[in-house]
Structure 1
Amino acid sequence: MRVAVIAVLVALILLATPLALGIQTAFFADERDELERAALAAAVHVPPFVVGGHVELPAHQRGIDVGAYDLSGRLRDGSGPGKADAITREAQKGVLVRGRGDHQLVVAVPLSTGKQVIGTVRASSGTAGVWRRIVLAWLGLAGLALVALATAVVVARRQARTLSAPLEALSAKAGAVAGGDLTARAEGSAIAEIDQVARTQNTMVEHLTRWLEHERHFTSNASHQLRTPLAGLQLGLEAAAAGPDADQRAAVTEALEQARHLQRTVDEVLRLARATPGPGVPMTARPAAEVVEGVERRWHGAFAAEGRRLDLDAEPEGEGLRIPDRTAEQILDVLLDNALRHGRGAVRITVRETGDVTAVDVSDEGSPPLDQRTLFRRGATTSPAGRGIGLTLARELAETAGGRLTLARSRPTTFTLLLPAAEPPPSHG
């Protein structure tokens, strides 16, 4: 508001100063023109001087002194100084003369008969009256300037509120975000520049929210995926410590395999955290049947301990298809863990070819309590013991590998994993 008022004030000064000078000049010019008209009117109506004769001047405006002078400089009639001044004497040369003297404006015109100058007519008025009119005009101008300045203050206050309100709202939203409310979003306004700042802030907050969610998901994904291989490793090591010497080698071998699987799990979770495969953790591929057989061997004991059967069915046309092995292992671990904890009866893994993709079905004899849309939402649990992470993570892993995970059937529960067939490795001949 201060900037707007200063700008208006400067504009008023720049406008009023030449206008005030123009008023002064115009008022003095008008007064001189009035004196000239009075002097010319008197010169026209004054008859030629007669020696010793009386001169009668016509009526003229009040406040103006009009006098007729002969060539000797003596006042013959009217009002004015008794003796002709320098301006009046200058008019005896036959020219109209304007001038100022003794706080007066003076106009003198020659009085002639034929081609001979016989005297002069002098008209004068005081400058005080002109200055009074000028001051009154200046006061009126100052009043208009004050009205304009007051109007500018009112408009500036309104404009300042228009500008400050969205900025204050933007600052409040930024403060809310700084306080941890990542749902706060800046609203639009009628000012394009502030709108641009608001859009930029909203974009920044959205990116920040996604990154924070990414970090939180990484933590939950890592804890979920590392739980199963760590439990297997612990069981293997406990069996090695408690069993006879003959069984220690097999137990240690099993524990070593679980440790390798744990390493692959860590690599895959890190790859998911990067959103795309990085150079440090390349996406490898192996035959689908080989990958699924390895997963089946690792989970066979867990299902057998629960008195449940785990079967593998690989169609002949799907055995040679290559799939991202680490991604497939992690997804199948989630599906089998979900079937072990929340499913019922026998579990079957089927590998088949579907066009240019490899389809892996995991089915059991139970039915999920949630619909497909809710089932894959993070935090949605199928039992009080669940955390609602596994299926969401499995779908994210499938999508990062260019595939898809869906609930194909609800009764019996059948999940279908579609993965793009990888190119076979180059042969070295």
Structure 2
Amino acid sequence: MRARVVRVALVAATVALVLLAVPLAVAVRYAFFADEGGELERDAMAAVVRVGPDFTAGDPVELRAVRPDEGLALYDAAGRLRSGSGPARGGAAVTRALAGGVARSRSGGELVVAVPVSSGERVIGAIRASTGAGTVWTRVLWGWAVLLGLCLVALGAAVGVARRQASVLAAPLEALAGTSLAVAGGDLTARAEQSTIAEIDEVARAHNTMVDRLAQLLEHERHFTANASHQLRTSLAGLQLGLEAALDDPDADQRAALAEAAERSRHLDHTIEEVLRLARSGAGMLASGQEQPAGDVLAAADRRWHGAFAEDGRRLTTIWEPQAGRLPVPGRTVEQIADILLDNAQRHGRGTVTVTLRDLGTAFALDVADEGSAGLDPRVIFERGVGEGSGIGLALARQLADAAGGRLSLASTAPTRFTLLLPLHAGG
């Protein structure tokens, strides 16, 4: 780009200089010839003063040239040379001067000026002043050489300015190209800097907006993958443990095991659907989903998790009043949050786990508590990657709560108690 800008500026400057220099060259030529003609006319006028009327009677007249390359000659009324340096016959210029006017002409490589000599009101002769046109052309060529030198200096200055401007224009574009390559290489934190050129700044802003959007999309995809992996792993582990337990126990009720597996499969389907709904919603609210009685949601959670806690020698207790159990809640969202909180309590908590459902009038509260203590700052416990595990579960639970119009918080650290607040009839 730099070379292209310099070429464009060079062409523009050359055209401008040609358009300016050609008329100036013509003006220089005209001015030098006009100036030389004026000099010859002044010298001829000065010679006329020294010519008396008696030269027609044969009196000698002495003419002295002012400049060494100049010729002066006196002609009588018949156009014959009487004195000085010149041709025997005066020529056209002298003929016009004898008619009573100053005449200028160029002939035979000479610049000629003829001035009439008058006595009284009668023209009695003419003074012819001449010089070689080559002398004038030498001056013209020197003038043209100076003009050409000035044009070259101007062209050099134009090239210098063009190179500087090319650097000013190219630098932000090169920086933008470098930023684009960095983004293509995987650095989504790279951003184009602002410059002093409005058009390039507009491109940089559009580029940064594109990268921001791309980073958001990639982050969204990463979160979706992590969320799906986390939730499906938990559901599949429960399904696998139930089936393996039924296979290992020859006295197990196979029908009950299959019923439990079918329920866990339905829950797995709900998990997939909820993760997909969350991914489609982005940072917005979750679309309205099917509502279920809160008691049914907690009863299903108790069935899924009771065996897992029992294997660890721990108790799982669910508590709700009949009125609270009939509250309509976004079932699939609440069951996903409950699963995450119960999974967190199993992995990181201690002792009995208590799930409590409370009716707050315009909202309901779901508490999941255990007898352990949270070792993380409540301000960062819901951030991704924080904690001993994958750092996904609690972040996903809060994201689900926010998307449903609710709020999930760590209400107590010793003992650990998480509380989900969700408005009634908010949609799931």
Question: Which residue of the partner structure matches residue 403 of structure 1?
Answer: 406
| SS in structure 1 at match of 2:187 | coil
C-alpha spacing 1:320/1:21, structure 2 compared with 1 (3 Å): farther
1:28-427 alignment to 2 at 5 Å?
A: 28-48=33-53, 49-57=55-63, 60-243=66-249, 247-276=253-282, 283-314=289-320, 318-354=324-360, 356-381=362-387, 383=388, 386-422=389-425
Task: Compute the displacement of 1:265 (Å).
Answer: 0.2
Q: Are 1:267 and 1:281, in contact at CA under 8 Å, matched by a contact in 2? A: no
Deviates more, 1:315-324 or 1:62-71: 315-324
| SS in structure 1 at match of 2:421 | strand
Deviates more, 1:413-422 or 1:41-50: 41-50
Task: Compute the displacement of 1:131 (Å).
Answer: 1.0
* Equivalent-residue separation in structure 1 for 2:287 and 2:195 (angstroms): 47
* Equivalent-residue separation in structure 1 for 2:65 and 2:131 (angstroms): 15
Q: Which has the higher contact order (CA 8 A, sep 6+)?
A: 2
Question: Which residue of the partner structure matches residue 27 of structure 1?
Answer: 32
Deviates more, 1:228-237 or 1:281-290: 281-290
Q: Are 2:104 and 2:112, in contact at CA under 8 Å, matched by a contact in 1? A: yes
* Equivalent-residue separation in structure 2 for 1:314 and 1:389 (angstroms): 28
Deviations 1:311-348 (A, max 9, x none): 22335664454332111111110001000111112222
C-alpha spacing 1:83/1:234, structure 2 compared with 1 (3 Å): same
| SS in structure 2 at match of 1:344 | coil
Deviations 1:39-79 (A, max 9, x none): 23333442224411223447634433222211111122232
For normalisation by structure 1, the TM-score amounts to 0.89
| SS in structure 1 at match of 2:253 | helix
| SS in structure 2 at match of 1:214 | helix
| SS in structure 1 at match of 2:405 | coil
C-alpha spacing 1:119/1:355, structure 2 compared with 1 (3 Å): farther
Which residue among 12, 21, 41 is the counterpart of 2:17? 12
* Equivalent-residue separation in structure 1 for 2:174 and 2:317 (angstroms): 65
Q: Are 1:271 and 1:277, in contact at CA under 8 Å, matched by a contact in 2? A: no
Deviates more, 1:244-253 or 1:22-31: 244-253
Deviations 1:63-101 (A, max 9, x none): 332222111111222322222111211222212222110
| SS in structure 2 at match of 1:374 | coil
Equivalent position amino acid for 1:420 in 2: P
What is the alpha-carbon root mean square deviation over aligned residues? 2.6
For normalisation by structure 2, the TM-score amounts to 0.90
Deviations 1:227-259 (A, max 9, x none): 222122223333444556771222111111101
C-alpha spacing 1:424/1:25, structure 2 compared with 1 (3 Å): closer
Percent sequence identity is 58
Deviates more, 1:98-107 or 1:163-172: 163-172
Deviates more, 1:302-311 or 1:389-398: 302-311
Task: Compute the displacement of 1:358 (Å).
Answer: 2.8
Structure 2 unpaired stretches of 5+? 1-5
Question: Which residue of the partner structure matches residue 3 of structure 2?
Answer: none
C-alpha spacing 1:423/1:401, structure 2 compared with 1 (3 Å): closer
* Equivalent-residue separation in structure 1 for 2:356 and 2:204 (angstroms): 52
Q: Are 1:188 and 1:195, in contact at CA under 8 Å, matched by a contact in 2? A: yes
C-alpha spacing 1:409/1:42, structure 2 compared with 1 (3 Å): same
Q: Count how many residue pairs are aligned between Structure 1 and Structure 2.
A: 421
C-alpha spacing 1:320/1:120, structure 2 compared with 1 (3 Å): farther
Q: Are 1:321 and 1:422, in contact at CA under 8 Å, matched by a contact in 2? A: no
